[in-house]
Amino acid sequence: MKNVFCIGELLIDFVAEKQGSDLSKANNFTKKAGGAPANVASAIAKLGGKSFFIGCVGKDPFGTFLINTLTEGQVDVSLSQRSDTFTTLAFVSIAEDGERDFVFSRGADKELKYDRRLSKLFKDHIVHFGAATSFLGGYLEEAYSLYLQEAVSNNSFISFDPNFRADLWKGTEAIFVQKCIPFIEKSHLCKFSLEEAQLLSGKENLEEACAFLHKLGSKIITITLGGEGTYLSTPAVKKIIPSIKVSPIDTTGAGDAFIGCLLKQIALTTKLDTLTSGSEPLENMVQQANKAGAITTTNYGAIESLPTQQQLNQL
Ligand code: ATP
């Protein structure tokens, strides 16, 4: 089985307990481990895969909480770093009008320094780039580009999820798109939401968006469509793989569970070329990954509600 190296941010989400009021009125917050690449690493480990999280947190109690959370979830954090800068914090509330109210206090995640020893570890394994804060500057962005080059030269299977956050890129969306392009060019697998696929391609239509993104380089594209399922696009197949019927409570982390489950299965595949030539194995994998996404929506939080292999088998 291949290792999966997930690079990016690990942070604290302070979620307002009383939803329906904006942050200026919220008094009580629940502390949650957050960060898409960290969620993906957790999803893989919970399904029995071998995942590493590569990111930076502060040497403060919040950093300790985050590292402990991943460690308890069997994620290997030995390649992560701690910094004197405070741990990155995000405060989230859903205001009365249904809009997300969001305050972001960026700290240690940007301090991740490039480590040349990782290059050898990437050889023939899987490297997942889960963008979000990685394009916001700092040492992290520098390390991110270098790790992309290392993954290419070490024959790694490269996976990319841009995790576009509208709150972080208001008015600078075009810069975000530019930063994503080298990753789409070099990735074997890309996971987008519909909004991301449209933003990155400039095309409204799903098929046209995929055609544009394939032309950039990515062979396998998955576009997650919430309750409708996932659009899978490869040279051999273009279709929606329907989702599983559940009663969703909180969709946080569904996308991370989806890509984590897909990568866990790819990690078990010996001949990666066959993924894009035949349609069936990949379709089955996406079907499984849809289940992982669906299960995650049936509970509150991201890491807490990720499925085990047993839960997937039972569904
Ligand atoms: P995130 O906000 O976590 O990044 P995303 O927008 O990337 O999420 P979604 O489309 O919400 O991802 O969900 C990922 C997958 O989870 C979907 O492709 C689907 O298979 C499953 N899923 C999500 N919502 C539901 C739902 N309401 N019912 C059933 N399955 C769902």
Distance 230 CA to ligand 1 centre (A): 8
For 254-265, write each residue's pLDDT tens digit.
999 999 999 999
Q: What 3-state class would DSSP assign to 312?
A: helix
Confidence of residue 98 (pLDDT cuts 50, 70, 90): low
Which residue lies with its CA nearest to atom 18 of ligand 1?
224
Which residue lies with its CA nearest to atom 23 of ligand 1?
226
Token pair belonging to 29: 């917050």
For 214-225, write each residue's pLDDT tens digit.
999 999 999 999
Residue 21 has pLDDT above 90, yes or no: no
Q: What 3-state class would DSSP assign to 306?
A: coil
Name residue, tokens 């909180």: 250
For 151-198, write each residue's pLDDT tens digit.
999 999 999 999 998 888 999 999 999 999 999 999 999 999 999 999
- Among 297, 298, 304, the mutation site with the greatest number of ligand 1 atoms within 8 A of its Cβ is 297
Distance 14 CA to ligand 1 centre (A): 22
pLDDT at residue 274 in the model: 75
Distance 35 CA to ligand 1 centre (A): 16
Nearest ligand 1 atom to alpha carbon 192: 7
The count of C-alpha atoms lying within 13 angstroms of the C-alpha of 164, restricted to the half-sphere facing its C-beta, is: 22
Where would I find the H helices in 165-246? 173-186, 194-201, 206-216
Cα 266 → chain centroid = 16
For 86-96, write each residue's pLDDT tens digit.
999 999 887 77
Domains of the chain, with CATH numbers?
A: 3-307 (3.40.1190.20)
- Among 168, 224, 232, the mutation site with the greatest number of ligand 1 atoms within 8 A of its Cβ is 224
Name residue, tokens 């957050």: 34
Cβ(302)–Cβ(34) under 8 Å? yes
Distance 252 CA to ligand 1 centre (A): 8
Element (H, E) at 232: strand 229-233
Residue 18 has pLDDT above 70, yes or no: yes
Token pair belonging to 116: 């040349």
Could you write out the DSSP letters of every residue in 51-109?
A: EEEE-EEESSHHHHHHHHHHHHTT-B-TT-EEESSPPPEEEEEE-TTSPEEEEEE--GG
